Amino acid sequence: MRVTRIAAEGARALASQKLRTFFMMAGTMVGIAALVVIVAVGQGTEERVMKRVTSFGTHAIMVTAGGGKGFSPPQEGITTLTVADADAIRSEVQGIDVAAPFVVKRAMLVQAGSAQAQTIIVAIGPEWHDAWEWYVKDGDPITQEDTATMARTCLLGANIAKELFGDQDPIGEYVQVGNVRFRVKGVLEPRGTDPMGNDFDSRMAIPITTGLRRVFNQDYISNVRVKVHDPGQLVPISNEIRKLLHERHHITPPEEDDFAVFSAAEVAKQARGIAGTLTLLLSALAALSLLVGGVVLMNILLISVGERTKEIGLRRALGASRRDVFLQFLTESLAVTISGMVLGSGLGLAVSSLLSAFTPLSGVISWQPFALALAFAIIVGTAFGVAPARRAANLSPVEALR
């Protein structure tokens, strides 16, 4: 009962000074909000990393034309990678199941009758299907015969097929790319979008020889997609590929590579590195906000002790012990930080939702941020409330009443 009475008295004291109470909880509220956002964005980033790794392929290595340290989409206009490089990787590096060269061209105009659309065209060989584990839903895939004869055949993604032909079956129909007419021989399985928002189903695939000779008029490729037998060997196989391409391209240190090699592990490491930097920045902001909030709370409570000297003296004169006074002011401190925690958690939830809706960042809501928020609220309320509570408890009743 005594604890309940002390808590009630503390609550009445806080309610009588609403504006002051709000200022005391403002710092805690901002710090807790930042903490909730940190955990939500961190978990959301982790989820995106795993989706990106899954999309990339846990058994996959990508060799990209052009140098660079960050994973990026296939580059256009870079001439440093050839089909011969892909053949060398396939034949000379152990542990590889598939090595599939391909060429990517963006914003290509495709026409079918009066319908037309801009799409990504991917020039592929028959091994591309196994390399990406991406097969046709209807019709037939690109075959070795298609590449050997530079056949004018193509595969359509589900969305581009619908865009060009509507509900009509596109297999056996024709599409035009520049001056080259292609017969549709299959429709790819729906793949959806990748974690970066790129639509896999709005693209068209053609035989790689047809693309290089008849459409793009070039002898270089964009990428080689490598699929390994053992995912535990991704790193050593990646190193073997780098070593082989160094020899083939006559690259010796300190010359920069004219290619880049990435595996799922490296994609995850890069994404986690970015997430870690963001988390560190937000953590510093949250810690600073909580520290400032605690200092503000302590100083306002110290001022409050000075203003409520007579009240404290009267309570002591009527029989309240030092422990009762100490507990009342400590309770007020905890009430302020826990109220700030509740408001800050709500603010953090709102900010996380806005980030998910209007930015590339995504937040995942779970119980962890609220548990952390409560723990920090209790720590801040206790740590910064002790000094004011002790000062109030140590006031002499006689001196206080004067």
pLDDT digits (tens, 9 = 90+) for 35-74: 788 777 777 766 776 666 666 777 889 999 987 655 555 5
What residues contact 115, with CB distance under 8 A and at least 6 apart? 163, 164, 165
- Residue 6 has a pLDDT of 47
Q: Rounded mean pLDDT of 324-343?
A: 81
Q: Rounded mean pLDDT of 104-120?
A: 91
Higher pLDDT, 357 or 128: 128
Strands 96-112 and 136-139: unpaired
- Listed by start position, the domains of the chain span 2-51+269-401, 60-228
- Residue 315 has a pLDDT of 72
Higher pLDDT, 43 or 181: 181
- Residue 84 has a pLDDT of 94
Which range has highest mean pLDDT (171-185, 276-290, 365-379)?
A: 171-185
- Residue 304 has a pLDDT of 74
* Band of residue 348 on the pLDDT scale cut at 50, 70, 90: confident
* Band of residue 371 on the pLDDT scale cut at 50, 70, 90: confident
Q: Rounded mean pLDDT of 318-343?
A: 80
- Among residues 272, 270, 271, 392, the alpha carbon closest in space to that of 326 is found at 392
Higher pLDDT, 42 or 187: 187
Whether the predicted pLDDT of 296 surpasses 80: no
- Residue 139 has a pLDDT of 94
Whether the predicted pLDDT of 115 surpasses 50: yes
Note if the bond before 254 is cis, omega within 30 degrees. Answer: yes
* Band of residue 5 on the pLDDT scale cut at 50, 70, 90: low
Which amino acid, residue 64?
A: T
Cβ proximity of 191 and 134 under 8 Å: yes
What residues contact 208, with CB distance under 8 A and at least 6 apart? 83, 101, 102, 103, 123, 124, 125, 147, 221
pLDDT digits (tens, 9 = 90+) for 123-166: 999 999 999 989 999 999 999 999 999 999 999 999 999 999 99
User: What phi, psi does 116 have (nearest 5°)?
Assistant: -145, 160
Whether the predicted pLDDT of 33 surpasses 60: yes
* Band of residue 1 on the pLDDT scale cut at 50, 70, 90: very low
* Band of residue 77 on the pLDDT scale cut at 50, 70, 90: low
Phi/psi class of residue 87: alpha, beta or left (left: φ > 0; alpha: ψ in -120 to 50)?
A: alpha
Q: What is the distance between the alpha carbons of residues 243 and 261, in angstroms, rounded to a whole number? A: 11
Least confident residue range of 110-114, 254-258, 273-277, 336-340: 273-277
**String of b and e for 245-266 (b: at least 16 CB within 10 Å)?**
bbeeeebeeeeebbbbbbbbbb
Whether the predicted pLDDT of 352 surpasses 90: no
pTM higher than 0.85? no
Whether the predicted pLDDT of 396 surpasses 80: no
What residues contact 132, with CB distance under 8 A and at least 6 apart? 57, 100, 225
